[in-house]
Amino acid sequence: MTSVPTPIPSRTQYVLEGIKHRILTGQLTPGQALVETELAAQFGVSKTPVREALKTLAGTGLVVMNQYKGVTVRMVDADMAREVYDVRLLLEPEALRRAVRRGASLAAARDALTRSDRAADTAERSLANREFHRALYVCCGNPLLGRMLDEVRDQAALVSAVAWAADPSWEREADEHREILRLALDGDADGAASALHAHIASFVQRAFPEAQGEDGQE
């Protein structure tokens, strides 16, 4: 029999989503200490749901738990960027290619792009960007492929948050998003996949030039 994952208690889920939101929107920065008592007070809960939330976030790669230093937001460096974006480059364009070929609806991607254009702040724009990319691959027809991309989604967003804080490049990326979506809506699966690959590669190259691979590609 297939085991059913144990649901996360509501208070733990509430704290988990709250901490994740703060990390991915830059309110909590890489290397910053996450103190259980302080977080418990901020969220109005006991330390138990905070502790469980931090364990889950450690599993997704957003925080690091150290016996001596405690819990901190994961640091972002060129090695991390290369690892995460290598996975995206290998899987995300192919997932989009399959989604287009099977005629999947990309309405969610269009909506996310509209929300990004209308975003009032960096946090809202960042979340819309995440949803845009997920909407491109989630309908690929292979649930396992979608889950594999979901597993690196938070880490990719952390890399992006750090890069945007240093050098905002929203307008350029928005233009690239529009071109990717245009090609996909036109039914050009290979063109959309190629544009997405170039989009992902150029971002990490600009943000972390030292992350360039041995073969000269990101």
Structure confidence at residue 170 as a pLDDT band (50, 70, 90): confident
- Residues 97-110 pLDDT 10s: 999 999 999 999 99
Distance separating alpha carbons of residues 54 and 146, to the nearest angstrom = 24
Taken in order of first residue, the domains within the chain and their CATH numbers are 10-73 (1.10.10.10), 78-211 (1.20.120.530)
Amino acid at 213: G
Task: Name, of 16-25, 170-179, 194-203, the range with top average pLDDT.
Answer: 194-203
Distance separating alpha carbons of residues 136 and 150, to the nearest angstrom = 12
For residue 132, pLDDT over 90 is answered with yes
Distance separating alpha carbons of residues 23 and 32, to the nearest angstrom = 10
Question: In whole numbers, what is the pLDDT of the chain averaged over residues?
Answer: 87
Q: List phi, psi (to 5°) of 3.
A: -70, 145
Distance separating alpha carbons of residues 212 and 205, to the nearest angstrom = 7
Helix axes 78-101, 122-137, angle to 10 degrees: 50
